[in-house]
Amino acid sequence: MIYLIGEIFALLTAVCWAQNAVLFTLAGRKVSSRTTTHIRLWIALPLILIVHLIFFGTILPFDANIYGVLYLAISGIVGFFIADLMIFEAFVKIGPRDTMLIMTLSPIFGAIFSWVILSETLMLIHIFAIFVTIFGISLVIFEEKESRKPKKDKVKLIGIMIALGGAIGQALGLVFSKMGLNYEIHPISANTIRLIAGFIGLSLYTFLHGEFKKDFKKMVKHKKSFVFIFFASLIGPVLGVIFSLYAVKHAPVGIASTLMQTSPIILLPIDRIVFKQKITPRAIIGTIIAVIGASMFFLF
């Protein structure tokens, strides 16, 4: 069993992402996706600072290279602010399963951006993986389109476009993260910097839109939603990140990354039980194909 410790941590990471999506969806449908995104960072930031203190003895990475910090700050604004606003809105509009399924495109966009920006190699197998992933997602999306009313179909289309924007944002954030990590900044310190930047960006955004105080008032009114956001903030940005680091440390990166991509599969039974969504054999097959396609980026 000790030889599978990395793989176990990778699967725990996937479970964290799945539960994260469910809890944020439940909260977002009550208090709005933007409020959920905003309050989540007020909870996650102190938690990650405590984690940094435990690991390094300081709450902030004071010795980090300034250029690395700059790249990671950009990554945090793109990832934790812009992309997460889109992803959380997609959770509300199309649900956690379909959103996480579309998010399997994120490593694909990441590979394309890395090819363009960082001059990394994009092999033929990776191009094939793109078509496999898109085919799997299409099986699920177009099956559900056949049975929807025009109004619901429009909402679904908007949700899909928002989720795609989130996937692109996460991919760009990952590229900037990689550029920052090249300055020998520890992943936990890097995540702390990203969270701080995202927190500042989102706080300014809500303040300028006159929603800052309203978001906290919603938490007082909807205590159940606050509980969902609290546990999701603990499960995702803290436990999920830590589990992923240990997964990569104790297992081959390709295998660990592949197992961490299985959240859409884990969400299939959850979507049926919690959100009462019909799960057809075609949806199951499409989800598995999409996950396989995304996994090919890490295995080859």
pLDDT in tens, 203-235: 999 999 888 889 999 998 999 999 999 999 888
**The pLDDT of residue 72 is above 70:** yes
pLDDT band at 199, cuts 50/70/90? very high
What pLDDT is attached to residue 294? Answer: 84
What pLDDT is attached to residue 144? Answer: 54
What pLDDT is attached to residue 157? Answer: 87
**Per-residue pLDDT tens for 270-298?**
888 888 888 888 889 999 999 898 888 77
- Written as one string, the DSSP assignment of the chain is -GGGHHHHHHHHHHHHHHHHHHHHHHHHHHH-HHHHHHHHHHHHHHHHHHHHHHHHSSSS-TTS-HHHHHHHHHHHIIIIIIIHHHHHHHHHHHHHHHHHHHGGGHHHHHHHHHHHHS-----HHHHHHHHHHHHHHHHHHHHHHTT--HHHHHHHHHHHHHHHHHHHHHHHHHHHHHHHHTT---HHHHHHHHHHHHHHHHHHHHHHTT-HHHHHHHHHH-HHHHHHHHHHHIIIIIIIHHHHHHHHHHS-HHHHHHHHTTHHHHHHHHHHHHS-----HHHHHHHHHHHHHHHHHHH-
pLDDT band at 162, cuts 50/70/90? very high
Look up the pTM and report it.
0.85
